[in-house]
Structure 1
Amino acid sequence: MKAIVCSSFGPPSNLEFKDVPDPIPADDEILIKVHACGINFPDTLIIQGLYQFKPEFPFSPSGDIAGVVEAVGSAVKHLKVGDTVIAMTTYGGMAEKAVAKASVTFPKPPGMPMVNAASFMIAYGTSYHALVDRAELKEGETLLVLGASGGVGLSAVEIGKHLGAHVIAAASTAEKLALCEKHGADEFINYTEVNLKEKVKELTNGKGVDVIYDPVGGDFSEQALRAIAWKGRHLVVGFAAGSIPKIPLNLALLKGCSIVGVFWGSFAQRNPKKNMQNTMDLLQLFTKGILKPHIHKIYSLEEGPQALVDMMERKVKGKAVVSIV
């Protein structure tokens, strides 16, 4: 099969388009003929050896896939050959075929395009787990979304609105904020033009925000935390800015707030039943038209490395997707 292959850690230019052996599913795995795979920020870290774990070489990036079941392991009962599915694989998805654990592979809803399905699992799974399970976001609360025009950011805007929150979108350009408005955000902050803390305080009449959704990190994390409300929850989702902030812990004391870690991949492995219910809820919301993934661009398999470059250069609004079939 054809695949984009990482044989040594480094930039996307190190990746190769080549023939590799077909993967073989274990008893609890499914072999999927991949139709499309989504690009997420962790993919740019994995190929550089900067993620929480380092796969064995060679491997293919992308852990967000949609396709058709080609074979199932002996322990798999809920899916069969020929089913169309979405799955989370962590890595291995930028290839014509990939294996996924049965516990994180789900039937694709009828009518859901493959490119939408491939852009769904990680972004929406992360945001739903963050806002529902970790923050327990309530109707009427205020939600600040940093990096709001990205894949996880837009999903957080949509889910926050569905849960009844007042959503403040923060991003780096007017164009990105316009996209956030289309996805339901109520108010907007261009944090390249104004002080994030001061603007949040202004928009909330000095109260601060109840929940901060933070996939950005860097200097913006502390600015946002300084504008959190009493008993607020700061969700640590990722570090797209490139640096892990060192937060003064006295802020948590003074604000009576919580700094809450969000690691959806680990949650999905540790609590597969709850993750399955979350995923079913999300797929129903998509079917009802409440959730609408924004596709920034569709790339060919050979163009997969360029999709990663565009992600690293912050050119992607919503989701970048590689179409393989």
Structure 2
Amino acid sequence: MDLTFDGGLTDVVPVEETSQIGQARRVAQQIATQAGFDATDAGRVALIATELATNVLKHARGGEIHVATVPGIDTRGVEIIAVDRGPGFNLADCLPDGFSTGGTRGEGLGAVKRQADIMDMYADARGAVVLARVYPKGFTRADIRFGASHHALHSEPVSGDGWGMAQNADAAEIVMVDGLGHGVAAHEAARACIDAWRATPFEEPVSLMVLLDTAMHGGRGGAVAVARFDRKSESLRYAGIGNISAGLHTLDGSRGLASHPGIVGVQTRRAQAFDFPDVGGRLLIMHSDGLQSRWSLKDYPGLGTRHPAVIAALLHRDFCRGRDDATVLAIRLDATV
């Protein structure tokens, strides 16, 4: 499998009153259709969005539905994530039909489980994040263990952040860019970076940074980081310039990945790569400075074992600064695709 994917914005539908349940359904179904789903599979997506939005409104009294197209193995999928700050719940209790905490028939999450190819969640007293992914029929084993939450500042139509992921049998590579500032000029800088990366995926990180620096000249410039995981040696090579944050996480702790100061495309020195051996199975998390840097997975017992898409959405929920574009990506570094 050879895959090269650059991520778009996460569609966010607030769910604060009943009419927004229908809006969540329409957005999810439209994205599924755009991803090439047939009527049956798009209907599955619409049902999941409806059930998750209904649960958010009834049990958490409000929250959001996040919808995005995601790359899968030889296909594309649709991801629907319910995000709230309600009282939380126990997933094992809520999945069986007939269980309800809100006086309803209790079919919501059970219906989601039946329709989704991937389902996972995390809940505690701070709220809940529930993930469902759907792939076209015939691709039920297509999931890639990664997640990305990508948001523009407030209601701006474009983001100054960007990210891309390439995967094949030998390697996985992640690139993230944060164009200086926000708005159209920052978006153009990020777009120049991602377009140049798409032309040469799997390039060695230091060499790639030279190419990206050239591609971003003449624009606003930005922070860029590249992480390349070698499946055979289970090692990671990382190079970064600017304020992209990155770290390798296990259940016991984390290790930060260093970036050098500078602005790619404006003023920078040659990047330096750092090598990390024996990182197979670890969780790589990268994010722009739209997220606070002072967080720890240890503050969320068990979160490190959840699907990376749940982790990304939760970190955005709890640590988004709210004054810049924000992107967070989490990926499990596996020896096999």
Regarding TM over 0.5, the answer is: no
Q: TM-score, normalised by structure 2?
A: 0.31
Q: TM-score, normalised by structure 1?
A: 0.32
**Highest RCO, 1 vs 2 (Cα 8 Å, sep ≥ 6):** 1
- As a proportion of its length, which structure holds more strand? 2
